[in-house]
Amino acid sequence: MVDDKYLIDAAVRILASVSDRHLDVIKLNKILFYLDLKSLLECGETVTHKDFIAIKQGPVILNYRKCLVDSMKEKGLIVIEGDTLILLNRTVFDGKFYSDEFLYVLDLSNDDSFWDWYKENIGWQIAYREGLGRGRKSQFINMHLAMQQIVNDDWRYENVE
């Protein structure tokens, strides 16, 4: 089993970067999904080192309630109100992070259309169709296939003249 350290670190830094330090858990999963896709494209590996599955609301980390929400709560990093995770103010960082990938995905998440962008992702579409779409259990998302959404999009070339 892969350590949840990378996942929790990324999630805490995302929560620390959004207004009021709180975010709906499904929205957090979507940001983590696109952060992992961008990192996979640029660095050859994901940030979280976790698998994603397709649910109706979008891509989520496999067992996200246990390995993300419960782990963060047990470590005293967050409080939970309904489906909203609220980062506690005492959380401190060492100053390092995933720089370009993180900042770019976080910037994208400021656009309201970002939250439904997963519906255009072929990796999510196939996993959803083959799983919940057919009355079966949620299926894993093929991240290399899912990455094609950003390979074929202009966001990869934002700084190229």
* pLDDT at 22 > cutoff 60: yes
Instruction: Say if CB 127 and CB 141 are below 8 A apart.
Output: yes
Instruction: Say if CB 26 and CB 16 are below 8 A apart.
Output: no
Residue 160 lies in a domain: no
Q: Which of 33, 30, 42, 48 is nearest to 158 (CA)?
A: 42
What percent of the chain shows pLDDT beyond 90? 65
Place of tokens 């959404």: 149
* Structural domain boundaries, residue 73: 5-88+99-154
Domain count, the chain: 1
Residue 159 lies in a domain: no
> 33-71 pLDDT, tens per residue?
999 999 999 889 999 999 999 999 999 999 999 999 999
* pLDDT at 96 > cutoff 60: no
Q: Which residues pair with 140 in a beta bridge?
A: 53
Instruction: Give the confidence band of 98 by pLDDT, cuts at 50, 70, 90.
Output: low
* pLDDT at 157 > cutoff 90: no
Comparison of pLDDT for 44 and 109, the residue scoring more: 44
* pLDDT at 158 > cutoff 80: no
Q: What is the pLDDT of residue 91?
A: 62
> 118-133 pLDDT, tens per residue?
999 999 999 999 999 9
Residue 43 lies in a domain: yes
Residue 93 lies in a domain: no
* pLDDT at 104 > cutoff 70: yes
